[in-house]
Chains A and B, each alone.
Chain A
């Protein structure tokens, strides 16, 4: 998967190497929260049932005590416990491939995790209560105070939508960041196949032909070749490239083979220039033929 367009944040590890993480979006985080909420409620119900069968007829008091404690700890420490034990992921975060990390790049400490989850009380619970049963929070509130309080809490709850890093108040207080941690599979290097190609016409490109495109185009091409792109698209891309670099296609030339060969040659050229300290990000305007003297 290409990830160029997604916002990334750089974390400098204690070893001094910057790591770039893709920022988790507010909606996937909301989804993760909802799944976790469902897990919490389900767990509470299961505990209640288990206790009911085990205890209710014997000791009603013990039942009530254990249930209250279970609910309290589930509600306040579920997130903290998992994020401490599972390297910054709750079950739902893990399911969706999200992680909590330290914003400054250090290790994720228990107090940071606790602080970030402490704020859930004002981010989620309080707004919910305010909207559902306003009287429970502030019974004697004057009329004007209620919309004001609701607005205030609304701002807190919607904060992740309004800042660059999608920080919720808990992240701000805990100094944390939620990122996406996708698992990338290492695929074969595309140039290996070209080198190993058994026979057929060899493609050779002049340096000038290889000086037209930049890194961005190279990686778009890589992406095309790695996916199962339909032949028609490949032919069209090949045609455009050939036009730009002034390539005279041999009759019956295979578009995909051309593209692979061009990719290999182009990458070799760009990497060579990169070694010399020159990163070319984008293509040049015009084409090889028009620039010929």
Chain B
């Protein structure tokens, strides 16, 4: 029988590949000798061709299943291979992340705009009637900062000296993990047609606006922003990027465009994922600034200078990083 002869001729190569794959499965690709590593793709292609032939000439179900599973395993080993993590990280920071941000610039602008509208709304409402503050800001989040608080108390928050440097970094870590999680959530919720993302983003802006109005009525407006912006530039940017990722995902759910909805989501989702990974890094930076710098530096000019410096840095980075090759 043809199929029997065929198997006799090829079986040696199948077994060889199987042994290599067993080795890869138990101790990773790096466990292979260089010449074995060279053999892997050769054998993989040989088994793929065996599989094609076997499908055409053989009815031995076990042999077919075996080849299918062998080819599948080899496929995993070969196509899941990745580059060294260090180089991937550098490549991500210098090219992929800023490129992803540029690719989604419409969503980023929209997200920023929405947040700004939130700020204006929250500010307007609170200025019109300070009692609105209670409706707009969650009590827990306000932490005692409310229209009922005295001006001195409000000022106190801006210049508080938490005692030890140690406690500050705990605080910084908490802020980082908390904010990064909210950011991830904000992006992931984009899947639900972006509605929750929009709500979260808008509400975030409203809260900010309400605080701003509260401090403005006490003549502390500029000082509040000097308190927020040194880390806020980075943090708000990260929120906006996460939200942009969510919006992009929501957009591809609602308006798939030229591709099929599923294909489009997969395409956008991966790039949106890059935005979120980058944002986690931004949150880390923001957490560091917030937890360390802000509590230690009380000079309003230095605070403004840092805010401006971060803004310029991110603007330059996102505009120009990774551009030279495109």
Residues of B within 8 A of A174 (CB): 266, 269-270, 273
Give A34 Cβ to nearest chain B Cβ, in Å: 21
> What secondary structure prevails in chain B residues at the interface with A?
helix
Query: B173 contacts which of A64, A126, A152 (Cβ < 8 Å)?
Result: A64
**Is the pair B59, A61 in contact by a Cβ cutoff of 8 Å?**
no
Q: Measured between alpha carbons, how far is A107 from B82 in the docked complex, in Å?
A: 9
**Is the pair B271, A111 in contact by a Cβ cutoff of 8 Å?**
yes
Chain B: CB-nearest residue to A153: B192
B189 beta carbon closer than 8 Å to chain A: yes
Chain B: CB-nearest residue to A167: B262
How extensive is the interface on chain B, given as a class?
A: 35 or more
Q: Measured between alpha carbons, how far is A160 from B9 in the docked complex, in Å?
A: 43
Chain A: CB-nearest residue to B172: A65
**Is the pair B79, A108 in contact by a Cβ cutoff of 8 Å?**
yes
Give A182 Cβ to nearest chain B Cβ, in Å: 6
Q: Measured between alpha carbons, how far is A264 from B59 in the docked complex, in Å?
A: 11
A84 beta carbon closer than 8 Å to chain B: yes
Chain B: CB-nearest residue to A155: B192
A40 beta carbon closer than 8 Å to chain B: no
Indicate whether A99 sits within 8 Å of B76 (C-beta atoms), given known contacts A19-B71, A69-B173, A126-B185: yes
Query: A175 contacts which of B4, B170, B249, B267 (Cβ < 8 Å)?
Result: B267
Residues of A within 8 A of B68 (CB): 19-20, 184
**Is the pair A19, B79 in contact by a Cβ cutoff of 8 Å?**
no
Q: Measured between alpha carbons, how far is A97 from B269 in the docked complex, in Å?
A: 26
B111 beta carbon closer than 8 Å to chain A: no
Give B282 Cβ to nearest chain A Cβ, in Å: 15
List of 5 A-B pairs having minimum Cβ-Cβ separation, nearest first: A175-B266, A173-B269, A115-B273, A87-B80, A107-B79
Q: Which residues of B contact A (CB under 8 A)?
A: 1-4, 7, 11, 14-15, 18, 45, 48-49, 51-52, 56-63, 65-66, 68-73, 75-77, 79-82, 88, 96, 138, 140, 164, 166-167, 169-170, 173-174, 176-177, 180-181, 184-185, 187-189, 191-192, 249, 262-263, 265-267, 269-274, 276-277, 280
